[in-house]
């Protein structure tokens, strides 16, 4: 695709209103456009990245047996009155009246709605466990929306809900999501650390926040550095394997400031392993038992004939926030180089021909390379503008396709100047480029 035909409104300089690098870059390369405070339109470049993140999140939910549904953004206040949260939620909830004067709201989360769906359809323990999720816009009237889409009012979230009969089964469900989160963030090339967290207004007793380290993050964290070495590689989707995974992580002190206890930190973690820093919350999982099922009367028949309220958990991922979080983690602000992980890159290769008046040979060559790459399902962008080569490279460094092919004076015959963004170029043939890219993509 020619850049001249794409809707990528690039700014010459960093926008002064943006305080953190993700917000700056997103405005600079036209990924988003603010429409009112904390509310954004997603333009093609930003939308492409977000959709790829969404798809990875979806695949990892499906892999643990969660089923996708789609609940509406607008909810009735009735169910929130049943759970008791209509008052509790306070001013973060956007309340609306319809023409019949009925109280409606724009959903900030979906525990009530999904419990209502569940209770009207599921009557027996035989249908459990159930894991349901959706990926939908949420609205929270944040008191201080800031940092672009990192803390905004309307945002895109994956939220999942589990239903079980016993605490033990519910723990098993919880651990499935724990694993799926580790796998999801790994595919996004992020190191997200699970931290024991407070349960906040959603309530309950077991909770982890998944946090990536970033100076601009809003969460204060205290951890044992060794937790960064852990991985989920050999974990199977099976009770004991998942239990060991949780234990492996929970062994290391790792908390946000609500749970921080200085004495405990210093006792459990020797000085050289202590890390006290800031991070961005990209996911949050909770187990809260019958907190909603009891007031909303969501029960099932048990084997012996008795009834009991279902035990529930909820599991969120900030899909839109992740776009910014990846930028915070990857953007080299000093050199103005963004390298998207190939799994979510808006384009995989940028083709940058040096343009000469009256000579279309570079552009012709770019077109031929483009055809070859696209045959192998590689996503490309061609800079067909007549700017000079160095300003084109700078622009592509911001757009962040992880690989570049530069067609200039150096290009001789079959050998192309190919480079991983920010690194030294090498001269190789198209077949080899395709091989490298295929290998990289196979790892996703």
Contact segment (CB under 6 A) with ligand ATP among 44-52, 78-86, 258-266, 315-323 equals 315-323
Closer to ligand ATP at the Cβ: 109 or 235?
Answer: 109
Residue 42 touches ligand ATP, criterion: CB under 6 A: no
Nearest to 316 by CA among 290, 338, 288: 288
Contact segment (CB under 6 A) with ligand ATP among 60-68, 150-158, 162-170, 421-429 equals 150-158
Name residues contacting ligand ATP, limited to 156-195 (CB under 6 A).
157
Q: What are phi and psi of 214, to 5 degrees?
A: -165, 135
Closer to ligand ATP at the Cβ: 148 or 402?
Answer: 148
Contact segment (CB under 6 A) with ligand ATP among 247-255, 264-272, 275-283, 338-346 equals 275-283
Nearest to 313 by CA among 207, 210, 241, 184: 207
Closer to ligand ATP at the Cβ: 108 or 353?
Answer: 108
Binds ligand ATP by CB under 6 A, chosen from 30, 289, 316, 341? 316
Measured distance CA(223)–CA(260) in Å, rounded: 10
Closer to ligand ATP at the Cβ: 202 or 415?
Answer: 202
Least CB distance to ligand ATP at residue 90 (A): 13
Least CB distance to ligand ATP at residue 3 (A): 29
Residues 416 and 407 sit within 8 Å (Cβ to Cβ): yes
Residue 282 touches ligand ATP, criterion: CB under 6 A: yes
Query: Which two tokens mark 160?
Result: 């999942």
Binds ligand ATP by CB under 6 A, chosen from 31, 152, 369, 399? 152
Least CB distance to ligand ATP at residue 271 (A): 29
At a CB cut-off of 8 Å and minimum separation 6, what does 199 contact? 205, 207, 286, 288
Residue 318 touches ligand ATP, criterion: CB under 6 A: yes
Residue 142 touches ligand ATP, criterion: CB under 6 A: yes
Residue 151 touches ligand ATP, criterion: CB under 6 A: yes
| Secondary structure class of 266 (helix, strand, coil) | helix
Residue 402 touches ligand ATP, criterion: CB under 6 A: no
Measured distance CA(440)–CA(444) in Å, rounded: 7
Residues 161 and 180 sit within 8 Å (Cβ to Cβ): no
Point out the residue whose Cβ comes nearest to ligand ATP: 318
Closer to ligand ATP at the Cβ: 135 or 300?
Answer: 135
Measured distance CA(340)–CA(342) in Å, rounded: 6
- State the DSSP H helix or E strand holding residue 419, giving kind and residue range, or none if neither: strand 416-420
Least CB distance to ligand ATP at residue 216 (A): 13
Binds ligand ATP by CB under 6 A, chosen from 111, 116, 281, 348? 281
- Residue-by-residue DSSP string for 188-239: TT--EEEEE---GGG--SEEEEEEEE-TT-SEEEEEEGGGGG---TT--SSH
Contact segment (CB under 6 A) with ligand ATP among 27-35, 221-229, 281-289, 300-308 equals 281-289
Residues 38 and 45 sit within 8 Å (Cβ to Cβ): no
Residue 283 touches ligand ATP, criterion: CB under 6 A: yes
DSSP state of 390: H
Contact segment (CB under 6 A) with ligand ATP among 167-175, 183-191, 280-288, 401-409 equals 280-288
List residues bridging with 131 in a β-sheet. 162
Nearest to 141 by CA among 35, 38, 257: 38
- Residue 433 burial (10 A CB sphere; 0-12, 13-18, 19+): buried
Residue 341 touches ligand ATP, criterion: CB under 6 A: no
Name residues contacting ligand ATP, limited to 194-213 (CB under 6 A).
200
Measured distance CA(164)–CA(128) in Å, rounded: 6
Closer to ligand ATP at the Cβ: 25 or 366?
Answer: 25
Binds ligand ATP by CB under 6 A, chosen from 52, 85, 134, 140? 140
Site of tokens 């008791």: 84
Query: Which two tokens mark 335?
Result: 């050199």
Binding site for ligand ATP (CB under 6 A): 109, 140, 142, 151-152, 155, 157, 200, 281-284, 316, 318, 321
């Amino acid at each position: 695709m020619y850049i001249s035909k794409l809707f990528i409104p690039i700014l010459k300089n960093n926008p002064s209103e943006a305080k953190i690098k993700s917000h700056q870059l997103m405005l600079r390369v036209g990924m988003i456009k603010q429409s009112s405070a904390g509310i954004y339109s997603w333009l093609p470049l930003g939308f492409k990245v977000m959709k790829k993140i969404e798809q990875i999140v979806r695949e990892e939910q499906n892999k643990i047996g969660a089923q996708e549904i789609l609940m509406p953004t607008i909810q009735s206040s009735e169910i929130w009155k049943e759970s008791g949260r209509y008052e509790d939620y306070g001013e973060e909830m956007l309340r609306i009246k319809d023409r019949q004067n009925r109280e409606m709201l724009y959903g900030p989360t979906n525990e009530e709605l999904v419990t209502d769906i569940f209770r009207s359809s599921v009557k027996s323990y035989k249908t459990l466990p159930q894991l349901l999720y959706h990926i939908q816009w949420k609205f929270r009237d944040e008191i201080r929306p800031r940092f672009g889409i990192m803390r905004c009012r309307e945002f895109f979230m994956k939220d999942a809900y589990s239903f079980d009969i016993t605490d033990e089964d519910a723990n098993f469900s919880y651990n499935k999501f724990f694993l799926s989160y580790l796998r999801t963030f790994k595919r996004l090339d992020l190191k997200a650390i699970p931290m024991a967290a407070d349960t906040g207004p959603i309530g309950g007793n077991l909770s982890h926040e998944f946090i990536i380290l970033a100076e601009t993050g809003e969460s204060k964290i205290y951890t044992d550095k060794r937790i960064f070495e852990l991985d989920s590689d050999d974990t199977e989707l099976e009770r004991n394997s998942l239990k060991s995974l949780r234990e492996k992580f929970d062994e290391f002190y790792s908390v946000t400031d609500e749970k921080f206890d200085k004495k405990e930190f210093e006792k459990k973690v020797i000085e050289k392993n202590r890390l006290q820093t800031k991070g961005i919350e990209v996911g949050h999982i909770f187990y809260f038992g019958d907190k909603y099922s009891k007031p909303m009367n969501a029960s099932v028949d048990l084997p012996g004939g008795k009834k009991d309220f279902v035990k529930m958990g909820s599991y969120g991922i900030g899909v839109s926030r992740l776009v910014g979080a990846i930028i915070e983690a990857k953007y080299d602000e000093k050199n103005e180089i963004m390298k998207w992980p190939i799994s979510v890159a808006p384009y995989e290769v940028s083709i940058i021909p040096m343009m000469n008046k009256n000579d279309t040979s570079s552009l012709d060559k770019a077109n031929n390379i483009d055809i070859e790459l696209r045959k192998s399902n590689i996503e490309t962008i061609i800079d067909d503008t007549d700017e000079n080569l160095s300003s084109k490279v700078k622009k592509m460094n911001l757009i962040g396709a992880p690989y570049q092919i530069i067609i200039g004076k150096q290009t001789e015959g079959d050998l192309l100047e190919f480079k991983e963004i920010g690194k030294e170029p090498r001269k190789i043939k198209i077949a080899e480029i395709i091989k490298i890219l295929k290998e990289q993509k196979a790892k996703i």
